[in-house]
A = this chain, B = another copy of it.
Amino acid sequence: MPTSNATLITPKWILTLENEHILTNHSLVIEQDIIRDILPSDDARKQYASAQEITLENQLIMPGLINTHGHAAMNLFKGLADDLPLMTWLEEHIWPAEGQWVSEQFVADGTKLAIAEMLLSGTTCFSDMYFFPEAAAEKAADHGIRATFYSPILDFPTPYGTDADDYIEKSIQAHDRFKHHPLIDIGFGPHAPYTVSDEPLIKVRSLADQLGMPIQIHLHETAFEVQDALDKTQQRPSERLQKLGFFGPDVQAVHVTQANDTDMTIFKEHGVHVIHCPESNLKLASGFCPVQALKDKGINVALGTDGAASNNDLDMLGELHTAALLAKGVSNDASALPALEAIKMATINGAKALGKEDLIGSLKPGKQADIISIDFNHISLTPVYDPVSHLVYSANGSRVDHVWIAGKLQVKNKQLCHFNIQQLQETAEHWANKIQAS
């Protein structure tokens, strides 16, 4: 029976992504943390007469955006070093800065900053791969954003761990700690084929099966990575991982700017998801992910921003814009990755990649109430022939007006509901001053 603690959201348009249609004159009912109903507004006002109604004039509601790859804490390095060749950027700027500064406090503060930026721009669920994932997970839990933390695994020591076994052990500890949290998941984050050797990869696969933890790995990010592997091992990284039995539908391969028929056949056969990070790939000149070819092969492609040090923002609508445009350029076909398909990459495809498609990624009664509204009251979104076109080709994160996660309001009228912005900015500037002075 309808209860009195329901909230009725009545926008101009509802994009459920359960089909190709846009609903008008409909309302969505939130009850506790879930979507209770989506029905004509007249009926909704009768059936849920005691509900609070939020009318969003000239706005569209849709599933919250899902950012499937990033390094949230790196927000504190945003703009520290740009326009440099990849190895110069890593070896002379990013790795030294990480070596000197990364700590639990750095990760907590950087992740909080990233969460604020993500919420404001409509991301309701993100995936993260960075040091001290428990410190990051605590911040996500505190601020009520849904997230999966892929605990990093490397062969070599960093401020966070000593060797592969140590990293794996820490992954399991983090998993144990958060396994009953409604918003937080912990997965394995073996960094890349060239930084993790066979034994730990086999161990990760085995533990993932036992514990039901998902896996995310950087894969085929550059042509150099693939050629280097071929030179050293006479096989492509994808082939090596396949032979190790590493792949499965719980594995997300991030970047994949290099994918020949062999790679695509392997991904398809094992249900591997590809995470496309177009702006990072462009900025680091890593190559072009063949998005349309992967989709044509039936491989699930989701979208991520990567870390703010190689993007340099976490705006998923901006990323969507870039992804949609770039897919057309790269495939030499203006009809490639049409707007609705692009939006799916940032929502339901992301949910599938993270293994959360039963919970989120579309607006459907019974799913979690992870919902955003886009304000069309702006000259740049006027006039409207097709709101879906505007979402992809004309909007950006600054048009996000309301954000709910698990039914809780996080952003209202473009303002964060539960953050002290000034404190957040001061903390970030404090870190930047220290880092820049060093």
Contacts and interface: CB of A to CB of B under 8 A. Distances in A.
Given A80-B385, A85-B334, A282-B325, 11 more contacts: A79-B385, A89-B334, A113-B382, A283-B325, A287-B329, A313-B393, A382-B425, A384-B429, A384-B432, A385-B435, A396-B396
A281 interface: yes
A329 B393 contact: no
A279 interface: yes
A117 B429 contact: no
A428 B312 contact: no
A325 B279 contact: yes
A288 B386 contact: no
A307 to B, nearest CB: 12
Interface string A389-408: 11001101110000000000
Given A84-B335, A328-B283, A429-B383, A318 B396 contact: yes
Contacts of A435: 385
A378 to B, nearest CB: 8
Contacts of A19: none
Nearest to A83: B338
Interface of A: 76, 78-80, 82-86, 89, 113, 116-117, 120-121, 279, 281-285, 287-288, 308, 311-315, 318, 321-322, 324-326, 328-329, 331-339, 377, 379-380, 382-386, 389-390, 393-394, 396-398, 421, 424-425, 428-429, 431-432, 435-436
Secondary structure at chain A's binding surface: helix, strand, loop or mixed?
Answer: helix
B394 A313 contact: yes
Contacts of A432: 383-385
Contacts of A337: 83
A311 B80 CA distance: 30
A260 to B, nearest CB: 18
20 contacts: A78-B394, A79-B385, A79-B390, A82-B338, A82-B339, A82-B386, A83-B328, A83-B334, A83-B335, A84-B334, A117-B380, A279-B325, A283-B325, A283-B334, A285-B334, A318-B321, A379-B421, A379-B425, A383-B429, A384-B432
A89 B394 CA distance: 18
The 7 A-B residue pairs with the shortest CB-CB distance in the complex, in nearest-first order: A383-B432, A398-B398, A282-B325, A83-B338, A79-B389, A312-B393, A282-B329
A79 B384 contact: yes
Quick one: which of A312, A313, A334 has the most chain B CB within 10 A?
A: A334
A116 B379 contact: yes
Contacts of A308: 394
A76 B383 CA distance: 7
A331 B193 CA distance: 26
